[in-house]
């Protein structure tokens, strides 16, 4: 299919979902949008998209329904709850789920949808709000290859690279691996910044010197300045990352694998969440180091 052939619904216009939907609107897709708060539906950059009062409304007459919501419960509510999408999705339509959820939840949703001849792909994304705005997200897909090819024109708008890993749930498993890497890299950058500050080094110069060497990482490149300035503009919410680490730790437990670094970072995140920082960016891990220095 080409872009012109596909009509889309989009549910979940958060920090990632809104710029993804805006890029799809700009690309010329027929787009219906819904989000729980309803506020983002009125964003001027979505002019031309149809605002919808419920997931069911956003799913009426569409070929593909995209989801980008917060967690497992939200996905199941959108699909199967009151005014849920399955009350209106037609046979042969595709649910393209860009949320990050447990692999088992993705598989369970796919099985339930199959009873109505509705297809499902899990397609979590990574790349932060910057990637969502630029349309350069990395998309990690699980599900049938022929379905991936059907929705590829959509994914090529929101993603800079698209990767297929097998059946439903495999995309979510790869996203769990990604979040383990994110946990370690953010925590390492936070500690490195704290050490440099304690040593009274010129940290902007230090970061510029190190970011293209062996210590370079996405977190060092994109989040170290926020840590230095002790401002944490939202790229990916700390509370959502802690949720994702729970998924990763459950996956590890299921295969009898200990992840001590990830377990430690999860505890640090829980401490910060309990102290009111759950809605800040993951780079707020630096707050923990600051607290330790000041105590």
| Catalytic residue list | 175
Contact call for residues 84 and 78 (beta carbons, < 8 A): yes
């Amino acid at each position: 299919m080409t872009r012109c052939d596909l009509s889309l619904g989009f549910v979940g216009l958060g920090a990632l979902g809104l710029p993804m939907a805006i890029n799809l609107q700009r690309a010329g897709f027929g787009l219906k949008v819904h989000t729980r708060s309803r506020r983002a539906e009125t964003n001027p950059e979505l002019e031309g998209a149809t605002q919808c009062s419920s997931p069911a409304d956003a799913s009426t007459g569409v070929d593909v329904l995209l989801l980008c919501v917060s967690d497992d419960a939200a996905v199941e509510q959108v699909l199967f709850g009151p005014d849920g999408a399955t009350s209106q999705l037609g046979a042969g339509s595709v649910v393209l789920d860009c949320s990050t959820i447990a692999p088992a939840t993705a598989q369970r949703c796919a099985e339930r949808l199959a009873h109505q001849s509705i297809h499902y792909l899990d397609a979590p994304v990574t790349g932060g709000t910057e990637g969502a705005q630029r349309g350069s997200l990395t998309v990690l897909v699980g599900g049938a290859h022929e379905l991936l090819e059907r929705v590829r024109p959509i994914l090529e708008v929101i993603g800079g690279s698209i990767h297929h890993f097998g059946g439903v749930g495999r995309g979510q498993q790869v996203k769990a691996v990604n979040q383990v890497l994110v946990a370690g890299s953010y925590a390492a950058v936070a500690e490195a910044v704290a050490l440099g500050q304690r040593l009274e080094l010129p940290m902007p110069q230090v970061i510029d010197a190190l970011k293209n060497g062996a210590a370079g990482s996405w977190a060092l490149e994109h989040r170290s300045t926020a840590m230095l300035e002790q401002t944490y503009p939202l790229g990916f919410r700390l509370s959502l990352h802690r949720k994702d680490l729970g998924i990763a730790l459950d996956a590890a437990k299921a295969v009898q694998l200990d992840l001590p670094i990830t377990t430690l970072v999860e505890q640090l995140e829980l401490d910060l969440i309990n102290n009111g920082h759950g809605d800040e960016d993951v780079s707020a891990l630096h707050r923990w180091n600051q607290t330790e220095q000041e105590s």
